[in-house]
Structures are given as structure tokens and as C-alpha cells.
Amino acid sequence: MENPIKIVALDHVVLRTSQLDKMLQFYRDILGCSIEREKQELGLTQLRAGNALIDIVTVESELGKLGGKAPQQNGRNLDHFCLQVSAFDEPQLIAYLEKYQIKTSEFAERYGAQGYGRSLYIEDPEGNVVELKPFVEPIK
């Protein structure tokens, strides 16, 4: 039997937090994700990240309590996730992130959904590692 599942793209990532304001500043104000939907009664804020969503759930909320304790930095429940972003000038991106005191890794050639490409790692306020990798237009 042929596998009926054909992954097309990342749909969403759910991140738990005890620092909602800092997480919103990071994803909305610095990375440019817009708030798409809020369900305050559930403790859920959904941010648009291109074709995908980043869901942020507060740990003290109804949904957040389902995940147990708040995120801790002595271990991760997620190694990292990669946001495919539009093409950028590397020095300009570094300068922009430094303006917000966001530490970055070195740019390196890494393999992803579109093959090899240069990317860098940053961390959000909860210590989740976020890879920023530019989208490459397919050659026609």
C-alpha cells in the first residue's frame, strides 16, 4: 500500500512559556510574525510565520497545564526549529539582531527542506533554538 501521507510544509509549532510578553516581543516585534488569533481563555496566541503558525501557550493556562511544568533550561523538549525566511544580507541581519541583544551563531552551510543553504541560529526568551534560513526561489 502506498503511503497516503505527503508532507508539504511545516504547519505549526507549539511553544510553552511562562514569559508571554517576552515571547511576543521576540516573535512579533523582532522576527515580524503577526498575531493571527488569540484564545485568551485557553492561554493561546497564534502568530503567522509565512505559511505556518507559531502557537505560544502560557504554562499557567488550561492548555499549558496539560504540558506539565514550565520550560526549564537543564534540558529541552525541542532541539530547534527552522523558519524559512526571505533572502537577506548577512551583515545586515546580524546588525539587526545585535540591536536587540540577540546572540547569533556563525552562519554555516546546513541542509534543510530546500537542500543546502546558509543559515544561523538564535534563541527565543525560553531558550528554544530558532534557525533562520533563506527561501531559495526554484530555478525555472
Q: What is the pLDDT of residue 91?
A: 92
Of the candidates 121, 34, 132, 54, the residue with the CA atom closest to the CA atom of residue 88 = 132
Please name the residues in contact with 136: beta carbons below 8 A apart, sequence gap of 6 or more. Answer: 87, 114, 115, 117
88, pLDDT greater than 60: yes
Partners of 49 in the β-ladder: 52
Mean pLDDT of the region 118-128:
91
So where are the chain's domains? 12-134
CATH of segment(s) 12-134: 3.10.180.10
Residue 109 is placed in which grid cell?
Answer: 552551510
Please name the residues in contact with 92: beta carbons below 8 A apart, sequence gap of 6 or more. Answer: none
> Using CA atoms, how far apart are residues 9 and 52, in angstroms rounded to an integer?
8
The pTM of the full predicted model, rounded to 2 decimals, is 0.76
Comparing 9-13, 55-59, 63-67, 105-109, the range with the smallest average pLDDT is 63-67
